[in-house]
Structures are given as structure tokens and as C-alpha cells.
Amino acid sequence: MNYKNFPMVPRVIFGRGSFNQLNEIISPIRLNMNAPFIYLIDDVFKSNSWLTSRISLSYDDRIIYISTEEEPKTIQVDNLVEEIILSVKERPSGIIGIGGGSILDLAKAVSIMLTNEGETHSYQGWDLVKNPALYHVGIPTISGTGAEVSRTTVLTGPKKKLGINSDYTPFNQVILDPELTKNVPKDQWFFTGMDCFIHSVESLQGSYLNAFSKSYGDMAYNLCKEVFLEDTLSTIEAQDKLMMASWHGGMSIAYSQVGVAHAMSYGLSYVLGTKHGIGNCIVFDHLEEFYPEGVRLFKIMKEKHNIELPQGICAHLSDEDLDTMVSISWAMEPLWENALGNNWKKKISPKQLKTMYLKM
Ligand code: NAD
Ligand code: ZN
């Protein structure tokens, strides 16, 4: 057995208002006055002075606001890297991502591509990155994906949707300030929060499970139950706990894998552009057969928070589109293997997958 030796985020600060300490944290990292810090920020914060007034730009530092209308693409990373290279005097001191999973993934990818040659899509896969990334900081503003702690950055490329999984991907510094999540719209709070719940269920029910993943998975699962099922938490406690649930959910899958919901949601995303959080919910809602207890709880949570999921999103698809969807999902071998075991191909067929998609 060859065990994975994987890196973790070496520094993390947690607390409401900890975002105020960003400047003191990054100042010692600055290489020189010509080497700026580049902030990649979700454009939902563009005129939000509560957040932006706490960022102090010095020398050549700059903010690039980014729309999260669509999830990150390799070409978007290539363009950002080019824009940065053309506009700075020297290689930047660091990249700071402020936003949800989309922005955190972009920040990771940009920091890798500023020190590695060629096009971003050529690094989609496992351990293809040669040079260490630039110093990069992740500051989540919505909780659930675990992108703040993971070793991957999920990108849609010309041929596939696949992460850059590497030892250089994790952030050098994460700032967990749950107060930053206070204005997340309710539906989005639910969809991204359920990503974490689904990570924990898929990890805990998977064949790859081990004590490492289980301990983190249990924590994420129980925190999600408290946040989404119980009425005992204040808003502040719920924000704090969901941020930690996201962290633990991400840690849990580091040493295992996700499962059926993620495998199928990748297919939806590739063909229909369905976003990760809502896509997982649409799929998970139909997975009683695979995750009976998780799906039962999910339906109670959905009801409790009055969440309406879109129905029939695959009904109008052409046969060709459906086949693409099935083949994208089918190709996620490790996810299926984790979910159904070694002989997963005996337990599910492309035809069954198609039937399942048609119900969604
Ligand atoms: P997101 O980053 O796309 O954000 C969702 C929405 O919430 C956006 O409209 C955004 O503007 C808004 N938002 C974020 N913070 C806000 C705030 N504080 N106030 C108001 N609005 C706010 O969504 P997400 O669900 O966090 O991330 C999804 C992405 O994460 C996908 O691209 C997915 O592939 C990726 N992902 C990555 C990993 C990983 O390990 N790298 C894991 C899971 C998912
Ligand atoms: Zn996920």
C-alpha cells in the first residue's frame, strides 16, 4: 500500500472580524514595492464598502472584480494571468481570493499559472504542476464547498471539467471570518451548504472510508445537521458552525472521495452549465437508493427551509446531449468506485444512469 502524503493549509485564522487582520498578515510577505498583491474578488462585493474599505492597497496592488455568473474556466485563468503579467512590473507578491468556491478556485489556479508555463488546461489532472505556486490566500465569503482547504481547483476546460490536483494547489493562508457570509442569499446558502452535507454523506458512505476521513466527515455531518435541522442556533452560531463544517467536509474528502451525486452533477454541469451547489441538490434529491438516510434528511432540510428545486431539467434534452451527460458522469471512475465499490460497473449501467437523469 502506498499512502498519499498530502499537504495541508499551513496557516489559518478563525474568528468574526478576523478579516481586519489581512494587512498585518500579508505585509511581511511582500517581496518589494514592484511586486504587488493582486486581489481577485467576487463582483458581488464591488460597491460593498463594509468589505472593501478594509483592504489597504499599497504601491502597485490592485483589485480585479470577477463575475461568478459562470463557474471558472481554464481560458478565464489564462486571460487573468495574461492580464496580470502585462500590467505588473514584477511577478506579484501574492494572490488573494475573496469569494465563494468559484473565486477561491480561480485564485488557486492563477497563483499556479503565474509560475508555470503554458496553458491552464494542460495542468488539469493529478500532479502535473512543476513549480510551486505564488503565495496565495483564500478568504471564503460563503460556506460549503471546502475549496478553502482542498488540494484541487475545479475548472472547465475545452475537453473536460477537472481539477488541478497538486501539492501546490492548497492555500498558504486561509482567513475564516464567518461574518463575511452574512449577506449570502438564502437559496444560495442552502445549495452551497448542502455541498458540504453531500461531501460528508458521500465520504462516510464510501468504500474508501478510513478513520481519517470518518473523523472529519462525522464532524461535518453533525454540524450540518445542527445548522440545517435544529432551531437552537443563533444566526451567528449557525454562520460560525457552517464555516467549520465546510472545512471539515473538505478535509474528509481529501483522504477519500465524493460519490454518486458529484459524479452525476458533473454531467449536468458539463451539458447544461448547472452550478455545483444546486446541481448536487437536484441529483441528491433522487438518490434514496444509494444514500437512504442522507437523502431522507436532505428532504427534511429542503422542506424546512422552503427550497424549491427545478424539476425536469433533462426532459427536453436530445439523445446526443443525454449520452454526453452519461459519458461525462461515467468517466468519473474514482467517484463511482468510492460509492459502489470495486465492481461498480456491475452495479450500475450507462442505461440506468440515463433513466435517472431523465427523472431529474
Ligand atoms: P460561488 O462561488 O459560485 O458563489 C455562489 C453565489 O453566491 C455567487 O452568486 C456569489 O456572488 C454569491 N456570494 C458569495 N458570497 C456572498 C456573500 N457573502 N454575499 C452575497 N453573495 C455571495 O458558489 P460556491 O457554491 O461557493 O462554489 C461553487 C464552485 O466551487 C464551483 O465552481 C465548484 O466547482 C467549486 N468547488 C470547488 C471545490 C474544491 O475543492 N476546489 C469543492 C467544491 C466545489
Ligand atoms: Zn462538492
First to last CA, the chain: 40
Closest protein CA for atom 2 of ligand 1: 100
Among candidate residues 273, 334, 298, 292, the one with its CA nearest the CA of residue 198: 298
Decide whether any atom of ligand 1 lies within 6 Å of the 97 Cβ.
no
Measure the CA dihedral 279/339/285/252, to 10°.
-70
> Nearest bound ligand to CA 283?
2
Decide whether any atom of ligand 1 lies within 6 Å of the 180 Cβ.
yes
> Nearest bound ligand to CA 155?
1
Decide whether any atom of ligand 1 lies within 6 Å of the 44 Cβ.
yes
pLDDT computed for residue 11 by the predictor: 98
Q: Which long-range contacts (CB under 8 A, 24 or more apart) does 311-317 make?
A: 311/360, 312/360, 313/268, 313/272, 313/274, 313/282, 313/360, 314/268, 314/272, 314/357, 314/358, 314/360, 315/358, 317/271, 317/357
CA separation for the pair 254, 148 (Å, rounded): 12
3-state SS class at 176: strand
Decide whether any atom of ligand 1 lies within 6 Å of the 274 Cβ.
no
Distance 258 CA to ligand 2 centre (A): 8
Question: Cα dist. 286→79, 135, 257 in Å?
Answer: 38, 41, 20
Decide whether any atom of ligand 1 lies within 6 Å of the 145 Cβ.
yes
Task: Write down the residue that cell numbers 471546502 correspond to.
Answer: 146
> Nearest bound ligand to CA 264?
2
CA separation for the pair 147, 134 (Å, rounded): 17
pLDDT computed for residue 161 by the predictor: 87
pLDDT computed for residue 334 by the predictor: 94
Distance 11 CA to ligand 2 centre (A): 23
Closest protein CA for atom 43 of ligand 1: 145
Closest protein CA for atom 4 of ligand 1: 100
pLDDT computed for residue 292 by the predictor: 98
Q: Please name the amino acid found at residue 24.
A: E
In this structure, the chain runs to a length of: 360
Q: Which atom of ligand 1 is nearest to the CA of 142?
A: 15
Decide whether any atom of ligand 1 lies within 6 Å of the 105 Cβ.
yes
Distance 89 CA to ligand 1 centre (A): 31
Distance 147 CA to ligand 2 centre (A): 9
Among candidate residues 303, 178, 173, the one with its CA nearest the CA of residue 228: 303
Phi, psi dihedrals of residue 20, rounded to the nearest 5°: -60, -20
Distance 327 CA to ligand 2 centre (A): 19
C-beta neighbour count of 248 within 10 angstroms: 23
pLDDT computed for residue 128 by the predictor: 97
Distance 66 CA to ligand 1 centre (A): 12
Closest protein CA for atom 34 of ligand 1: 154
What one-character DSSP code corresponds to residue 144? S
What one-character DSSP code corresponds to residue 103? H
3-state SS class at 119: coil
Among candidate residues 213, 201, 221, the one with its CA nearest the CA of residue 251: 213
- Please list, residue by residue across 308-340, b when 16 or more beta carbons sit within 10 angstroms of its beta carbon and e when fewer do: ebeeebbeebeeebbeebbebbbebeebbbbbb
Listed residues: CB within 5 A of ion ligand 2:
195
Helix 292-304 / helix 211-229 crossing angle, nearest 10 deg: 30
Evaluated on CA atoms 291, 295, 298, 302, the torsion sign reads positive
Residue by residue, pLDDT tens for the chain (360 residues) are 889 898 999 999 999 999 999 999 999 999 999 999 999 999 999 999 999 999 999 999 999 999 999 999 999 999 999 999 999 999 999 999 999 999 999 999 999 999 999 999 999 999 999 999 999 999 999 999 999 999 999 999 988 888 999 999 999 999 999 999 999 999 999 999 999 999 999 999 999 999 999 999 999 999 999 999 999 999 999 999 999 999 999 999 998 999 999 999 999 999 999 999 999 999 999 999 999 999 999 999 999 999 999 999 999 999 999 999 999 999 999 999 999 999 999 999 999 999 999 999
> Nearest bound ligand to CA 203?
2
What would the DSSP string read from start to end of 196-228? HHHHHHHHHTSTT--HHHHHHHHHHHHHHHHHH
Record the cell numbers describing residue 261, joined without a space.
Answer: 451525486
> Nearest bound ligand to CA 280?
2
* Contact criterion met (CB below 8 Å) for 143 and 103: no
Q: Which atom of ligand 1 is nearest to the CA of 277?
A: 25
Helix ranges (H only) for 29-89 are 49-52, 74-87
pLDDT computed for residue 4 by the predictor: 87
Task: Write down the residue that cell numbers 464532524 correspond to.
Answer: 219
Record the cell numbers describing residue 225, joined without a space.
Answer: 445537521
